[in-house]
Homo-oligomer: A and B are copies of this chain.
Amino acid sequence: MPEIDIVENIMDANDQIAARVRQQLDAAGVLGLNLMASPGAGKTSVLTATVNALKDELRLAALDGDVHPVDVEKIARTGIPVELINTGGDCHLDANKLIHALPTLDLSQVDLLLVENVGNLICPAAFALGTHFNVVIASIAEGDDKPYKYPAMYRGADVLLLNKIDMLQYQEFDLDYFRHGVEVLNPGLTFFPLSARTGEGLPAWLDWVRARVAERRAASEA
């Protein structure tokens, strides 16, 4: 089965490069988060809200996988270093794209690296980047059935943000049905409902980020 061999080789190669990404982040004491979501769920909004809340206490940087710099421009307005990883239309980031982008940032001046993956609930789930945690961002606007239809993404999440909770009053969204779908795939998954727009629910997520950054710093100093 040559097709399967090729796929296995690609995934092995990706995992090996991801391990090198992780080494570089760990050596510099940088926490790396891989933000994944559907198009329009609010990756950039969550990222910029997180940056604006934390930029006075932590040293932040971002990488954005995209074909167009529209999100990079939004992130740049926060004042932190940000670079575009031009995906050329690919449906996901991979460790190779990330390792080539890392030298564009001075990691010695960074505590937290936020990587915005391509807007897609399928392909990014298959490619480890070498970052420390997979952050999946769902949104009220995309509907309560997404865990059932995109199981690999939810299974691979380390933390789940449910964005746009300010839209709950305008859209039908069965929170119990959504949470049940998540629980079956990923029992006990850390979960933060929030609104990047209004700031509701953001503090709990920010505390989670602060705690992970502190752990990473302690590990790199040990």
| Chain A interfacial positions (CB closer than 8 Å to B) | 6, 38-40, 66-68, 70-71, 89-91, 118-123, 139, 141-143, 145-146, 148-152, 167, 170-171
Contacts and interface: CB of A to CB of B under 8 A. Distances in A.
Contact of A142 (B67, B141, B148, B150): B141
Contact of A38 (B6, B39, B91, B123): B39
Chain A at the B interface: mostly helix, strand, loop or mixed? loop
A146 B70 CA distance: 10
A88 to B, nearest CB: 11
Copies in the complex: 2
Nearest to A38: B39
B142 A40 contact: yes
A149 B70 contact: yes
Contacts of A119: 38, 121, 149-150
A91 to B, nearest CB: 4
5 contacts: A70-B149, A89-B122, A91-B123, A141-B167, A167-B170
Contacts of A66: 149
